[in-house]
Structure 1
């Protein structure tokens, strides 16, 4: 019998700092390089590595600064999965809109050390739902019909089983995309890219 935190436990095994933050987005209809391009990554920074090696192998000026994004992009069934271990670019509404444009879909999940657990779903360039991970987005509820969703009481929010709920949402995402995140994806080589620190900064902000 599967444990209620199985998929979260997988994440922790292959990325131990997961408790301090994690961000991922699943994208329909785009390949690895196109996904990276829509995330405004530097395509010349492409390097093949597994998740466990995502922070290694930078030399001199190639080492990204603390405000750059580091993403690992790979195929996940018929979708593409991008995991970000520095920054939260892949979970922003702007990124989801860009990733899902031209008739696609994109689903993200993310959190940081202070919480902020969020799930976002976009279709054809429009974010249709975004909110607290403690609730399955209404547009994805039909994928969760037979799942036991933990009860949530605002008065006892500190006791909420967040790791169990993250696993439930990952199951829902797996059903929506046709492929759950698993040990194979977390262990295999994919393509690492760097998202420059100002990639998502509008020219008008200067």
Structure 2
């Protein structure tokens, strides 16, 4: 199962290179999209339906002006909401992930240019647990995550592509939601962060 998942997400990232260029993906189940947009600091009046590639284009223009993507796209997948931030990283912040998990769970995967990849997890807003690429396993992992780590390359000296695929596989195992091309191409709700 692990090898299949890792292979799937390696291929997914090759096909969806926009995500691999720099994206923070955050799965959460404790609030609706409008409340989540507020947690991100988004302008609620800026809501517009678009695909990930369209949101990526807007974020690319924003990053040239302000060094941040300032775009967050929300989609629903099963019982989870997913926030996608092209060229963004707010979902990694304690205030955002904690706010999204205030009465539930949130898991965030940052795929960044260079070596700043990481996974964060929060339950009930009690503070996030973060694993960075190339981190060794130090101390206890929250049990809700630990049970899903078997066979995944999250800790230690791991190739970047293997780590990113393992991080997305961990999010899938935790949420039960598999990212796929069809879901990415759907129209989701985009907000601008000001």
The TM-score, its normalising length taken from structure 2, stands at 0.81
Counterpart position of 1:4? 6
User: Where does the alignment leave 5 or more consecutive residues of structure 2 unmatched?
Assistant: none
SS at match of 2:127: strand
Rg larger in 1 or in 2?
A: 1
User: Where does the alignment leave 5 or more consecutive residues of structure 1 unmatched?
Assistant: 154-159, 197-206
Deviation per CA, 1:181-202: give whole Å up to 9, x if none: 2222212111111111xxxxxx
Cα distance in 2 for residues equivalent to 1:99 and 1:21: 21
Deviation per CA, 1:53-80: give whole Å up to 9, x if none: 114579xxxx754245111101021010
Equivalent residue runs for 1:1-206 within 5 Å: 2=4, 4-14=6-16, 16-56=17-57, 64=62, 65-66=65-66, 67=68, 69-101=70-102, 103-134=103-134, 138-139=141-142, 140-145=145-150, 147-149=151-153, 152-153=156-157, 160-196=158-194
Q: Relative to structure 1, is the Cα distance of residues 25 and 150 closer, same or farther in structure 2, using a 3 angstrom cutoff?
A: closer
Cα distance in 1 for residues equivalent to 2:119 and 2:154: 16
SS at match of 2:31: coil
Paired residues of 2:25 and 2:109 also in contact (CA < 8 A): yes
SS at match of 1:138: coil
* Shift in Å, 1:96: 0.7
Paired residues of 2:97 and 2:128 also in contact (CA < 8 A): no
Q: How large is the Cα RMSD of the aligned pairs?
A: 2.6
Point out the more displaced range, 121-130 or 70-79: 121-130
Q: Relative to structure 1, is the Cα distance of residues 112 and 168 closer, same or farther in structure 2, using a 3 angstrom cutoff?
A: closer
Deviation per CA, 1:145-177: give whole Å up to 9, x if none: 2x2537734xxxxxx322122212212211211
Paired residues of 1:23 and 1:85 also in contact (CA < 8 A): yes
* Shift in Å, 1:92: 1.1
The TM-score, its normalising length taken from structure 1, stands at 0.77
Paired residues of 1:133 and 1:169 also in contact (CA < 8 A): no
Q: Relative to structure 1, is the Cα distance of residues 191 and 8 closer, same or farther in structure 2, using a 3 angstrom cutoff?
A: farther
SS at match of 1:115: coil
Paired residues of 1:69 and 1:88 also in contact (CA < 8 A): no
